[in-house]
A and B are shown apart, each in its own frame.
Chain A
Amino acid sequence: MLFGWSNSTCEAQINGIRLAKKMGAMIDDTSSFCQGMLIEKVLQNKFKTCSLEEIRDKADVLVYWGSDAQDSEPRHLSRFSYFPRGQMRQRGYEEDRLAIAIDVRESNTAKICKGHFYRISPKGDREFIFALMDALSGKVPSYEPKKMLELAAIMKKAEFGAIFVGIGLTYSIKNDFEILVSLADMLPNFNIMPMIGHYNMRGFNEALFRETGFVNRVKFEGGAHDAKYSIVEALRTKSIDALLVVGSDPVSSLPRSLLAHLASIPVICIDPCVTMTSKIATVTIPCAVAGVEAAGTAVRMDGKIIELSKILESNYPSDERILTMFMEAL
């Protein structure tokens, strides 16, 4: 299996997909236990979405749902969403914008949202969505009616809204995005923005989607897509006997019970940093840091392509170059 990719340039990801195709290998990335399903729905145009610049210029209601953007994407609020003055929102956060946080705990984002923090119980997102849908359609919701009607009134009045879907919501509704789709249908002025952790996760998802029609969990031998081709399932069922990790650290991010099999198979790790995975890997190939020591492109969370430039010289080859050499050797 070829795994990782979220911290690689688009060029390296395309090389990785080619390599997997040539070998008939399984390929997966960190989105299989992150926002993969949501991005698939966005790429299939199930949701209305927009760019971050549009949010900065036009948005008046921002909903951080299951996402602590202040801590996970520290420049998100100050650069694109809440604080900057946009073309149509010259008075910025003071008067023109309203931020709402929906979360299970009072995160730092919720502290910024102050009066508009809706605390829900863990796994309570589904109930919250149904109550909100009731409130939006004019019924009195069974769950906290006063607060829900207040929230529905704010959302109905929005001229240009954005819902930042964090991993809290994705995990809570267990990839059952149909209810989120039906909520989004009731809010024509709202855009859905997947909150992505790794800088180029969407780049991999888009590249694989173009190639196969799926965003992750693909086995090229037979061209199949299934949950059993995800890194978690593959390690659990011990269906893989070698792993290539590029720009990711599965040993830190995967459940401990899966690591026994990971440690028992040969692992090749390509990473600019020393990670837990590179320490246990059979072969570790250090590479240049993309955006600092190597140039390339990356895809931002809204789908915009960003050019990364090389600002320092390095003796290490880029991950793209290493993968090209793999192809040549094969």
Chain B
Amino acid sequence: MPSVMELYQLLPRTNCKICGESTCMAFAVALLGRKRKIIECTPILSENFKKQKEKLESLLLPSAGAEETGMIVHPELCTGCGNCVVACPVDVANDPKGAAVGHAPTNDKVIFKIVDGKVIASNIRECRRFGKNRVLCYACIDPCPVGAIEFV
């Protein structure tokens, strides 16, 4: 994933405040957090910034398919080991007889599931990174040695 500085370097850096943010850096942070869109920066739409705009779009492309919590699952990297299914604390709480003790999920309340050998995420609103009391949870990222799950 790109860093805030990478995005900032591509913005006009004039702090014109047209977008409503106080600085271009603040806009870059909002851009990375998917709270703002590139088109909301009007100066960058001009011909002079065409190349920068294209670069920005390509940098932000991977996060386009992210879930509401910012989760991206890369099925092409997944090996289907099920570490994330068993490790996720939400899965453990919602499926104490299945995912919690190492078995396959026994109900549909779980976040992670292995279908045809690849991980898929559902019930994303249950994720600990979502909602009012959100926490910076790493329970599904740490157990994955191939980096098939990431958050943006």
Residues of chain A whose beta carbon lies under 8 Å from any beta carbon of chain B: 56, 70-71, 74-75, 77-80, 83-86, 92-94, 108-109, 111-112, 114
Contact = CB atoms under 8 A, between A and B. Distances in A.
The 10 closest A-B pairs by CB, nearest first: A84-B102, A108-B145, A79-B102, A74-B81, A111-B145, A83-B86, A78-B82, A78-B86, A78-B83, A83-B87
B92 interface: yes
A77 B145 CA distance: 12
A93 B83 CA distance: 11
B98 to A, nearest CB: 10
B100 A77 contact: no
Contacts of A92: 87, 92
Contacts of B146: 108
Nearest to A85: B100
A70 B79 CA distance: 10
Contacts of B103: 79
B43 interface: no
B146 to A, nearest CB: 7
Nearest to B88: A83
A112 B101 contact: no
Contacts of A74: 79-82
A74 B146 CA distance: 12
Contacts of A75: 81-82
A86 B100 CA distance: 8
B102 A56 contact: yes
A80 to B, nearest CB: 6
A55 to B, nearest CB: 11
B19 to A, nearest CB: 41
A292 B81 CA distance: 21
B139 interface: yes
B12 interface: no
B139 A94 contact: yes
B83 A77 contact: yes
Interface string B43-63: 000000000000000000000
Contact of A85 (B92, B142, B143, B145): B92
Contact of A93 (B80, B81, B82, B143): B143
B85 interface: yes
B101 A83 contact: no
A284 B102 CA distance: 39
A92 B146 CA distance: 21
A130 to B, nearest CB: 30
Nearest to A76: B81
A80 B86 CA distance: 11
Contacts of B83: 70, 77-78, 83, 112
B101 A84 contact: yes
A83 B143 CA distance: 8
A85 B80 contact: no
A83 B100 CA distance: 9
Contacts of A114: 142
Interface in B73-121: 79-83, 85-87, 92, 100-103
Nearest to B82: A78
A71 B103 CA distance: 19
Nearest to B144: A112
A78 B85 contact: yes
A83 to B, nearest CB: 4
Given A70-B83, A84-B86, 18 more contacts: A56-B102, A75-B82, A77-B81, A77-B143, A78-B82, A78-B85, A78-B143, A79-B86, A83-B143, A84-B101, A85-B92, A85-B101, A92-B87, A92-B92, A93-B143, A109-B145, A112-B83, A112-B142
Question: Which of A78, A79, A94 has the most chain B CB within a 10 Å cutoff?
Answer: A78
A70 B144 CA distance: 10
A94 B139 CA distance: 8
Nearest to A57: B101
Contacts of B100: 84-85
B145 A83 contact: no
B111 to A, nearest CB: 15
